[in-house]
Structure 1
Amino acid sequence: MRLAHTALGGAIGVMWLVLPGVTAGHEGHERHEVPVSAVGSAPGTAAQEDETSTGDLVLPLVAAGTAIAVAAYGYARRRRRNRTAPAVPATGVTPPPAPELDRQARRSLVTADDCVRTSREELGFVEGLFGAEAVAPFTEAVRYAETELSAAFQLRQAYDDNPADASRDTLDEIVARCVDAGRRLDAEAAGFDQLRALEQDMSGALRHAEVRFRELNGRTGAAGSTLADLGERYAPTASFSASAQVEQAKDRLVFATTSLNRARQSADLGDTDRAVLHLRAAEGAIAQAEVFVDGVDRLASTLAAAAQAVPEALDEAEAAVVEARERLADEGHVRRAEATLAAVREEAAAGPYDPLEALRRVAEVSAPLGAVPAALRLVARGTTTDTDALIGTHRGAVAAEARTRLAEARRLLDRNPTEADTFARQARDLAERDIRAHGNPYGGRPEHTNGIAGAVLGGILLGDLPDAQGEALTGGAPGSFGGPATRARRGVAP
């Protein structure tokens, strides 16, 4: 289609260039028929005609230049996309069928999302050691990858919303953007390793990881107390989503303890490669344990803020009901809204309740009346952040659909909190479904009671598990900063 547009623009430009000459020739024939009495004015007329002919050339030249610019832009776009898109099948080779292309797009989204998450986690450790200025190029690379991935997820959401109208071009674009994101991270991996220089001296990185581990270990105990307090202050549904997070944080810290010890031992023995491998595994586990603990603290703050916002939200909604009763002919929804608001107010006054769910109910009956509580943005932001944490710490099991809904929730968060909350809850349900389906295939095996199963589920370890002694990775490695081609580079052959 671009080629057709370019050709059409060029044809128009050429036509405009030729047209003045044809017109001039036609006018020349007419001038031979001018009466002799008009000859005296011929010089002035000729000058005017020359100016007119020159003016006539301006628009055609602009059109031709525009056509050339469009052609050059289209060529540059195609060159860029060809560098990032998957190889086009050779002539005579049948392209993959639509179902296979769909699966490829889903795999690309999951892989790119994992690469971005792992890169962001390791970048946090390096920034803690060297500062934000030193890691600026790598921070920019992650942001670029996030932008491309966000666009790919938006395309996927549009594809899922209208599968009947979707095209192969959409799937191709999704894959191309994911490839582009991964290649940008791959391109920075060597420079990132050069900055870390773990093979030369990993003592500073090891001490930094151990400090974070000790701080987090103390916070985990406090998070357990916080979770117990939430269970007493609010209804069980209010803290249900975080009920297992303290135990999961402990599981990641068990794995981090083992990995840090092995990193120290390997470094003392001069086995630098294996020491770096265990250090990266420990860093990944520490980062995820911190996500679990932060989630408990964040939930406590969100619930407290929601409880304070409920009375004001009820007042706003009840005022909207009074106004709506005067202008709505059908009072069915008004009566339902009144009943819901009365029930929420009664629950809030009676004792422990779920303030987040209360705000959702208030928003649900208020929206048709044109009054959505401002506090709903608080609810949507909390749901989106919690779902992001769930997917990030279980990314070894979560598929593309849940990640796509989460990306849509992020996109809508500021402009439409009601829809954002809905998409975030859908994403959480889908993620939990994937996690249940994945299960724990390594449960009950003695060699896997040291947090390794959780590390695989969390995407900290890529591929298979260590052997019975827990020393060798059989086909896997801890993830590192980088794209699909470089993120498993820390692996050590068994």
Structure 2
Amino acid sequence: MAGFWGKRKRDEQELQAQDADLAKRAGSALVAADERVRVTTDELVFAEAELGPDATAELRVALSAVRQHLGEAFRLNQLNHDEIPDTAEELRSRNARIAQLCEWAQDVLDERTSALADKIARARRAPEIIAGVRADAARLRARIPHARDTVERLAARYAREALAQVEANPAEAEQLLGFAEHSASVAERRREAGQREQANLALEASTESVRRAATLLDAVETFEVEALRAESTLAAIVEDSRGDLVVALKEPQTPGVTTAIAELRAALATLPPGGVNTDPFAQLSTLRDANAGLDAAIAAARERAARPIPPLEHVRHAIDDADRQLAVARDVIAGHRGWIGADARTRLAESERIRIDLDRYLGTSAAAATVIDEDHREQAMAMARRVAYLAAEALQLAQRDIDSSRPQDPGQWGGQGWGGGRRGGGGSDVMGGILGGLVIGGLLDGMFD
């Protein structure tokens, strides 16, 4: 007994220590959150001055919500220290809630202020960024003549369709750089006039325009290199394609292989002669697709050769067998409905469903079909065999149900069971099982009573 009371005292002391620690953490969190609200309020004033009210709207809303929830935390803390005595559980619950509210407040303010941090830093560096925009624009302008020369050189070698993606890049880059320089000037003037929000929008437009101009000029240089690579790759693929045609002619000439060979030959025939401006990217894509089609057709032909097509007679036999099995199972289950359980009925339903799908797959009644395309025979045979298997399983399960439901005493099939004065005798059970349903079974009980 002394050990029990000692353990209980230690538990109480430990709980009191935990409550004291929670109260301390709640108080510290409340002070930190309140101070964070004050600091963020000052930051909001500066952010609005730098970015304008629209950019800081989310932070303003967040501050309002945080103040409201911190008001609840202060009210809970006041209840902890008023003149009304509180239980330990009440204090514990309030302190936990205070800590939760303060943690939420800190998280919300962290999220909103971090979203503005980059924009504020950018606004503070506006003069430096404007100078950088002008320097970048001048540097990119010096690249425009070279880009125009490159496009002219490419036009002498490649088709107009191939150059469509970069032909207008030098002119577009020049327009973007002019807009960037104008936007930088606007940003500078608006900032000097105290219109910080408009200044920041203009600054973002100028930096984005410079970035896009650089991308357009880089694309011209990249196109020249990639076009040369495409030409080199095209020559290798042409050689490979001619070798693939030689190999393909030695493969089993299925309809798929014959079609793929014709498509690859057509793709090779469309290649322009030497000295004609070409589009190596489009030609490479066409040849690649034709080669992939030939590879797929050969793989399918080899797989088919390794797995011979079932003769039409075998498929017909499989369908006939499936129909016979299905008919037997259907008749047995229909004739003994009162005894047949869920398993047999489920197998029969699935067998009938697949049989219907088989007709749909062949596009006609499988039983009446006189011709089945070679491409459909294997699948049709597999479906027919599945129908037969499920029907046979349904028949087996139905027979199990019938055997388990029949009376074990042969005398129950006649004698007293057929009017011997015993209510619910074997005769009525047998007829109820054969005809199916509890209602019919009950009627028979009355008839034979």
TM value normalised by structure 2: 0.38
Greater relative contact order structure (CA < 8 Å, 6+ sep): 1
Higher Rg: 2
Between structures 1 and 2, the one with greater helix share = 2
